[in-house]
Amino acid sequence: MAAEPFPTGGPPGRVFFERAEFTRILNLYGRMVAAGEWKDYAIDPLPDACVFSVFRRASEAPAYRIEKRPSMARKQGAWAVIGEGGMILKRGHDLAQVLTLFDSRRFRVVD
């Protein structure tokens, strides 16, 4: 019997982040909060995906969504970062590789 690539760990029919994945996302979130970029977050476990939404202010629409969709794992990759307008900014099979999108955004030239 083959091991499930993305075990849910919760009730059947829901997708959740694994501990290592969630730790990596929260480390990024902590860095961005310290930089003053992000203010709040929300987690939505859905039947087909788990979404970590990031907000610049608590009353706004999410600035970014980090999504885990196991159904896309064999196609374009289970991980995606989606921007404010719903545009997919980066997609891939590895969470660390997908989150490198935010590394380039952390450093800006200030006059």
Answer whether residue 11 shows pLDDT above 60: no
The pLDDT of residue 109:
45
Asked whether the beta carbons of 89 and 83 are under 8 A apart, the reply is: yes
Two structure tokens written together for 92 = 């891939």
Answer whether residue 100 shows pLDDT above 80: yes
Interval 23-57: pLDDT, tens:
999 999 998 888 888 888 999 888 888 999 999 87
Whether pTM > 0.85 for this model: the answer is: no
Tell me which residue of 64, 88, 69 sits closest to 79, measured CA to CA. 69
